Structure 1
């Protein structure tokens, strides 16, 4: 599910389930977390195989969860996002095609988000009674400001790359996002690590993430039939 290989000073992590638009199961989240922990290179390039970055959680798996399982699933996604955010490496998300729900939330945990002109991003889960719950309610207000974060999340709208750039959801638009990872990797590794730590130093996340996971579990419990129907 996760391909990991070294390319010079960059560790490439590829989400490799193109038939599902790289939707992540619980096992896939664990695999991604382990791959990030194993990184020794100064820069990570995270991207998706095929025509999408990541569709978020595998909803076939989510639809089968009970309340306890749903909360645990959300916590797994949050843990992966924290691992990306807290990694000593600079993590660059290369977004080509769709980034939805938890997929967008993983990208928000990355240090730099670079999209192709064909990229689209959104949190459309609200339209069938859900949301990503991999740290989005923590990071969206920090990145967009509270008002824009509320509008974006509550509407469920999907935006193109140009709109995402204007909003601040992505950093750049490039035909080849990987080139940005290579550009960053050309800088001294120790300086990159120090800069990341200083720029990332912020407030506590634990309480917000606990409440987010609990809210996610409540919605899975309340909207199980709708979630299942959305996969038909």
Structure 2
């Protein structure tokens, strides 16, 4: 499939989604949001890829935020709808049944950091700068940032980042749990692919249920989701193959 602002490549069982607006530091505009929705709808039903990597084109920026040039003409109602749309698309990413890893290669600001936070895992390059600068524009994060950041780093640190609008380094982001690992820029994508290769060796059915259970961990039915998911997997082919392989002392082959 072709997308105006995104490049999609599928290498074996790994899909790579690259935001491709380098002239604008890969800023999120209406076209990028539309393409993100389309590409993740496609990946949801695509049968080959079992893991997804999201990154930005070039060496300077993952996604440098929303495209502010679109904002001045918006009415209050249009701004509300824009926020709803961002939530809808980023929730789609967060709830994809396949693991999504953000390879943060440079600036991840505003909507760019919100995109990274909607992914299940975040790796960053040493030159990455992360932040939520919305209050400098008289706004707040509108694509889930006020909700996801406290869950990842705690309310106090989230408040500090949002209220101060300061950018933090990749190493600082790792120290507070916002990113999992930090690598030199040239190693970022290879290291992210290494993680994806490790993930795709495991049961897709088990991982899909794990994503659902982890995403429910801050809801009232989190424990019930885990219990039901655990039980459901006993009826699945992956469980039967995994247990048989363990007993037979061989590596499992998951379809």
Q: How many equivalent pairs are there?
A: 204
Give the drift of 1:194. 1.9
1:38 maps to 42
**Structure 1 segment 46-85 matched on structure 2, within 5 A:** 46-50=54-58, 51-85=60-94
**Tell me, what secondary structure is at the counterpart of 1:75?**
helix
CA gap of 1:121–1:133, structure 2 versus 1, over 3 A, is same
Q: What TM-score results when the alignment is normalised by the length of structure 2?
A: 0.76
RCO higher in structure (CA 8 A, sep ≥6): 1
2:202 to 160, 176, 187: 187
Identify the range of structure 1 (24-33 vs 102-111) with the bigger mean alpha-carbon deviation. 24-33
Does residue 199 (structure 1) correspond to residue 199 (structure 2)? The answer is no
1:131 maps to 140
Separation in 2, partners of 1:61, 1:182: 39
* RMSD over aligned Cα atoms: 1.4
Separation in 1, partners of 2:105, 2:213: 29
Separation in 2, partners of 1:49, 1:182: 22
1:122 to 131, 155, 159: 131
Give the drift of 1:192. 1.8
Any idea what the Cα deviations from partners look like across 1:115-158, whole Å, max 9, x if unmatched? Answer: 01111100112122223310011111111111111111101010
| Contact kept? 1:42, 1:192, Cα under 8 Å | no
Q: What TM-score results when the alignment is normalised by the length of structure 1?
A: 0.83
Separation in 1, partners of 2:110, 2:126: 20
Give the drift of 1:88. 0.6
1:217 maps to none
**Tell me, what secondary structure is at the counterpart of 1:187?**
coil
Separation in 1, partners of 2:51, 2:130: 23
Which protein is bigger by CA-based radius of gyration?
2
**Tell me, what secondary structure is at the counterpart of 2:69?**
helix
**Structure 1 segment 1-232 matched on structure 2, within 5 A:** 1-39=5-43, 40=46, 41-50=49-58, 51-174=60-183, 175-177=187-189, 178-179=192-193, 180-203=195-218
4+ runs deviating over 3 angstroms: none
Separation in 2, partners of 1:30, 1:132: 19
5+ residue gaps, structure 2? 220-255
Separation in 1, partners of 2:54, 2:161: 24
Give the drift of 1:186. 3.0
Separation in 2, partners of 1:173, 1:127: 28
